[in-house]
Chain A
Amino acid sequence: DAGVIQSPRHEVTEMGQEVTLRCKPISGHDYLFWYRQTMMRGLELLIYFNNNVPIDDSGMPEDRFSAKMPNASFSTLKIQPSEPRDSAVYFCASSKTGTGGGGYTFGSGTRLTVV
């Protein structure tokens, strides 16, 4: 199993540009999570999906952020327009129903820098 795959690993963009982060969860996992990690705020849950349906997006900071999961094997997190304060590491994770923490597998993250 290749684990949770995120792309790109690094992204540098100019303020105002659109940024799209991608995630492929582990096959068979029915939950998908997007987290953001910064030095100041640590790890924050942005949004999570169950069976491709968004369940809780209360962590999405602003309307500039949007996430989709068109099928069980792909999800995107989009920021439009991007701002310097969006600079962070964005992690995707997946899990199976009912296993909670034990089933969580994290990707290697996308390091986003907005200049």
Chain B
Amino acid sequence: KQEVTQIPAALSVPEGENLVLNCSFTDSAIYNLQWFRQDPGKGLTSLLLIQSSQREQTSGRLNASLDKSSGRSTLYIAASQPGDSATYLCAGNTGFQKLVFGTGTRLLVSP
């Protein structure tokens, strides 16, 4: 059974810092790994998708990497802004269209 863990559970940084969010999964037989953002009281917004054959994806200030051998993915946020404050969730897809979510990292970026 796929289990996904995210560290840290919460993170508070001043504006402008570069930061890394971590995600680890127990089953390396993963089809793809996706990062989502969730704002309070809102649904989930897809940020980046890394397919099994890929090692990383980039979108603007965001970069996500996937290392299947170690069962880890990281989300790198460059030059953080207050608008980046949200909960970030990673989710693994083992190939049956089912996403297994981590518990999330709650990020607060202070002006």
Contacts and interface: CB of A to CB of B under 8 A. Distances in A.
Interface of A: 4, 31, 33, 42-43, 45, 48, 50, 55-56, 91, 93, 95, 100-102, 104-109, 111
Nearest to A4: B43
Nearest to A91: B43
B93 A101 contact: yes
B97 A106 contact: no
Contacts of B100: 45
Contacts of B104: 42
Nearest to A93: B44
Interface residues of B, number: 25
Contact of A108 (B42, B93, B99): B42
A42 B98 CA distance: 15
B49 A45 contact: no
A108 B100 CA distance: 19
Nearest to B44: A106
A33 to B, nearest CB: 8
Interface in B69-90: 89
B101 A102 contact: no
Contacts of B41: 111
Nearest to A3: B43
B43 A101 contact: no
B98 A48 contact: yes
A50 to B, nearest CB: 7
A111 B103 CA distance: 19
B93 A91 contact: no
